[in-house]
Amino acid sequence: MANVAVIGAQWGDEGKGKVVDWLASRADVVVRFQGGHNAGHTLVVGGETYKLSLLPSGLVRGKLGLIGNGVVVDPEALLAEIARVQAQGLKVSPETLRVSESATLILPFHPALDKAREAARGDGKIGTTGRGIGPAYEDRVARRAIRVADLAEPETMSHKLEELLRHYNTLLRELGADTFAKDAMMAHLLALAPKILPFAEPIWERMDTLRKEGKRILFEGAQAVMLDVDHGTYPFVTSSNTVAANAAAGSGTGPWAVGFVLGIAKAYTTRVGSGPFPSELHDDIGKLLGERGHEFGTVTGRPRRCGWFDAAMVRQAVKIGGIQGLVLTKIDVLDGLKELKICTGYRINGEAFRHLPAGMAAQAAAVPEYETVEGWEGSCRGARSWADLPAQAVKYVRRIEELVEAPITLVSTSPERDDTIMVRDPFEG
């Protein structure tokens, strides 16, 4: 049995939470390897809805959850999320959740700077969640970050805080925002330490043990390929590498351990925040997709921008992300539409492109080229086999498969985990 890495193949919000939950029944452990609490996964299990941001989705299925070194962790957000799911009946303890001792911490001055920067950008804002993800990753790269392991070393924290506050208070003052006092921040960290440290361990060592024991590992990605800091629609991206290649580095294991790479894509396209979106719809159909799909960001609550399926973009994500199989979600949202459109490429200043180029101006100028396909009568909702789908819906799936140049492995037909058509078990490799 192979390990599996689940990543988004669009701009996030593709329904990864349900897919990870569905796959978790076959896995022994679920690992988060990048991002922070700017990602949101919604799981519907037995009528209960769980909204997770930091916690690995497998915890809902009683699986061991690991938060890798590639994740930036807001300790207050983590503790609040644990308390929330515990109130819903989940058991979360140091026996079921482990956090890398090397993970970078998000502290109160990170979101403060994040929000101040966005406000200063005005109309040119990136559309961040304001949760301090970017500044925390900046600190990691600049080698000044306070990490989980530092919570056990007050002298280390004190030294690092001096450097951090010189940096942040200078920027915050320049942006007209409130500054932070060292004594208050130190007291804050000392109070958090006994609550966070029981979860801490060298995750790389745990990963090695799991490998030796032959355990099945599910790597849970956040955001999506087109939000990758290197490969996405820069600068309208997240601050980490979201591709499956980062699953190894972000959890402390070898690249061979990543296994089968499963990409998740909606049967249409959505995006939260700013940035290019060639197939976006500003008409009644775009509004209909948003209403039917309940398209609001799990973390931000912001309405998602909606548009037709962009096969050119997903094909690009397949190649960059090393995606070996694709999951198509929310196909039921398209029920009853007389005709559908699929973006197959772009025109940019009169030139044809089969991909989104790296330049900002070129991305902004991209005009979609569409292929029109027939819609279907009847409903896909709740289908669990190809026979349950309208014939034209099957044709739509097959056409997408051809255009993105990747096989469709699973089709999700509702938020319920069992409303899934499996073509191939990803754990079989």
Taking only the tens place, the pLDDT of each residue in 22-31 is: 888 889 999 9
Handedness of CA 271, 273, 279, 284 (dihedral sign): positive
Q: Which of 13, 114, 310, 332 is catalytic?
A: 13
Of 382, 391, 377, 387, give the one whose Cα is nearest residue 412.
382
Contact present, 310 and 354 (Cβ < 8 Å) = no
Predicted local distance difference test score (pLDDT) of residue 38: 83
Contact present, 218 and 4 (Cβ < 8 Å) = yes
Cα 276-227-75 angle, rounded to 5 deg: 130
Which CATH entry fits the domain spanning 266-428: 3.90.170.10, 2.40.50.140, 1.10.10.10, 3.10.20.340? 3.90.170.10
Dist CA 401 CA 262 (whole Å)? 14
Q: Which of 21, 37, 41, 419 is catalytic?
A: 41
Domain 4-99+204-260 in this protein, CATH class = alpha beta
Catalytic annotation on 419?
A: no
Predicted local distance difference test score (pLDDT) of residue 16: 84
pLDDT under 50 in the chain at which residues?
none
pTM listed for this prediction? 0.94
Superfamily of domain 104-196: Adenylosuccinate Synthetase, subunit A, domain 2 (1.10.300.10)
Of 222, 234, 313, 309, give the one whose Cα is nearest residue 274.
234
Burial of 298 (0-12, 13-18, 19+ CB in 10 A): middle
For residue 42, what are its two tokens? 């919604």
Shared fold status for 4-99+204-260 and 266-428: no
Catalytic annotation on 13?
A: yes
Positions of E strands within 151-248: 200-201, 217-220
- Pairing relation of β-strands 41-45 and 48-52? antiparallel
Domain ranges (residues) in the chain: 4-99+204-260, 104-196, 266-428
Contact present, 396 and 373 (Cβ < 8 Å) = yes
- Pairing relation of β-strands 41-45 and 72-73? unpaired
